[in-house]
Chain A
Amino acid sequence: MFCKLALRNVRRSLRDYAVYFLTLTFGVCLFYVFNALDSQSAMEFLRAGRGSGTVEAIFRLVEVFSVFVAAVLAGLILYADRFLIRRRKRELGTYYLLGMPQGAVARLLVGETLLIGLAALASGIALGMLGSWALDRLTLSMFLAVPDSLAAFRLSLPAVGKTVLYFGGIFLLVMLLTGLSVSRSRLIDLIRGERKNEEQARRPLGESVFLFILGCTLLGTAYVLLLTRGLLRVDGIFFLMLALGTAGTFLLFRSLSGFLLRLTRGHAGYYRGLNMFVLRQWSGKVHTNCLSNTAVCLLLLLAIGVTACSAGLNDTISGAVGEDAPYDLTVLNYGRGAVYERADLAALFRGAGIDPDTAFDRMESVTVYYNDPAVTGVGEESAYAAVSLSDYNAEMAGRSLPEMEEGDLPAKTEYPLVNGPAAQGVIVVPNAMTAALEPRRQMVNINYRGDTARVDAAVREALERGGFGRGLDIQGNYRLDTYYDLMGNKLLTLYMGLYLGLTFLLTAAAVLALQQLSQASDNAVRYQLLSRLGAPEKMRRRALTAQVALAFLLPLVLGIVHAAVGMTAANAVIAQVGKVDSVRSSAVTALFLLVVYGGYFAATCLGAWRAVREAGGRESGSRPFR
């Protein structure tokens, strides 16, 4: 019978707390997707190839972050569970009144938690498999070239095991705490559970203003500290800055309700429609919820910051591939015994079984000379090598880049001439001057024809096979190598950003949604009264939406301000690595925010309205006079 009761209760709460259940599912799904990364074909591809270092770094970071993410989600689940239990105090009291022993009630609740946990785990992992596959496809689509055999649907058993272990642990903890709190509760508290004093004493304006100004000052100090000291100096003052920021946020929330209420009260709009009602609803809750609002605001700051930073860094990295490796391959001929000797590479390739005419689009040889300051007039410290104007212009013409004029010489190369680090510190000199310079090495730039991955594999095989150069020291700088290195880094930042950012965003939105939905029963009574007073349905619905929107917007606005300041500091760090495209990263972040946060907002509005309507339906159930 308990089983039946538990099952019925779960079915009902699934409907009532769809938001809670969905959050659990998404949490499990997120956890699975990122812990299943090592079974992804994209990762295997990277690991097998040249990006293995970053792949290992990704896995290590996922492991570390997963503990963190699990802790955040555990906090959320415990918080949600406490909310749900408190909402059901009356129901539990009724069980006791009907003579159900305490142990049985505790068992009932534990059974319910177990059922919900199992359902969330199963649906989360199922969704996670789909998500993992989609992420794999997305990752692969970012590669220039991959074998077609990849991108199959895979299941990662270790990830399933880990997810079950972590979330099993969390649910076990929740069940334990639930059982404990229920077996300790007293009947009278349960029966009176719904009757609570609405603590809404008026706070003097002076106090609100003082707290508001104090909060602003603390926040301002924290901002100034962050902007002047930068993001990366982690010491005592860094933590002081965090503490100041948190305290400032808390005080703002604490003082805002009294402050805003007084500001708007004299205003004519206060007495229009349900404005007064909405503002009061919101201000009462903003005061009691200021602690959780602070937490939500900080979570949002982390979510926005992490997502925007990773998106920004990601773009910086993508831009770097083209600059570091303008050609598919640069062959470096170091000569024979460190003495310069020009080689006929076309012949060498033919000898190795590769026909340059069919395999390559173009093949250009560039001779690099030692820079002799006595001849060129440019110091060795600023340029270590020189090329002739005709070689340089030929390369530039092939890439449709601006060529140089004889009159400007000698000058540093405007664009890299070859793949790899050798591209820096080269000067261009007039053709005639090269006669006076000592040749250093030969560099041959090659672009492949046809399937990049296939040609690259063949060329690599040929170059690395002994005897390709017939005694010459010949090496290759492959664009794909640079590319995979960068791809690895790119994925690392992107994945970690997504993982953490989504977790934070999800948690923040879920806390707000639960807060709003848990007020549904109180709200139902109020909205029913509004209906009796003749407020039309449209007006009531708009008021409810406005109430939820206010609850969602306030932490978001402050979170965005925090994030904007934080991003300014973070960009200073990223700018050392490369340029940040802040418009694009902001757009990506905004999109994420819109989808996740907006989704929760919409779900909350619908849920809250349904709760209000169902409660109202009891009175006007027969829908009279329609």
Chain B
Amino acid sequence: MSTPMRDQVNPANSGNSSGPSLSNLRAYVSGRTNVLTFLVLAALLAGLTKGASLSIDSLTNLALAESVRALASLGVGIIIITRGIDLSVGAVVCLVGSVAGSFAQNADYGAALYPGVEFGWWAPIAAGLLTGVAFGLVNGLLVAAARIPPFIATLGTMSVAYGCQLIYTRANVVGSLKDSYKEIAQGAVLGVPNLALFALAAAAVVWYMLGHTRQGANIYAIGGNPTAARVSGINVKKEIVLVYTFAGFLYGMAGLLLASRLGLANALTGRGMELDAIAAVTIGGVSQSGGIGTVGGMLIGVLTLGIINYGMTFLGIDSYFQLVIKGLIIIVAVYFDMKKYARGE
């Protein structure tokens, strides 16, 4: 994956005092720390599990488990590149799951939200994506037009989305989903799970956008220096609204696929995903100070975090401890990110 923006990953300040070959090596390593971390962890896990984690089954499981997270992470990733943040991911995914699910319940199911109503196959997809896009658009407008700091704006919409989910479902489980709907995520093409295909397709689109379109160049420019972006004739507000809205679309995909995979949706579906998504892209080298990040990095971040989760479960680490460890991982990843790209004063 070679995009023109990739070179930004090489910080020129890596070891200018040492010899050329050593500093080249250091630049090479520091530009690819996320890949190396991933490989080391994967090897470690393979060793610890005596190869069991390398079986087709467990790889498929990993891909399935991480695909939904990948979609959410791609959305948060492009937002962070613009110097933003989105805490509403998990809540929006949760709400989308319930909204989409409610249009995909078997008509004869007594506890359905719309009992006796038969919706077309497209209804849950349209409803889910629209919900995601609507929340993304609101986030974008709050950040760009109302100038509310992204952290606070999305903290607010997070609560709104969780609340809406409970109101909409009257705190009930959205169950008895149609087989045709479950098939969206659970099916496979030539042995490759649909879920992974969707995630890869979305990654390809984001990769293309970031590296090969004007929108992508604008996103990096805004993250790198918003004032200079304005001077360069970029409509910064519009671009930011578009980025949040597009991220909302990705959360929409994540939510409806998650409900389809689980076969149900409730108040816990997707909960806490903001933590996973932000952790993943940070591990993947998306800088919190903006302007830096690649799709390849984001995906590796998602897989790395997946391996860590999987490994912890495999090693029998209590899920409560897993939360603690995940939080620490975010902090450490951001610490190294800040050291690397600290804006010198």
Q: Do A and B come from one complex?
A: no
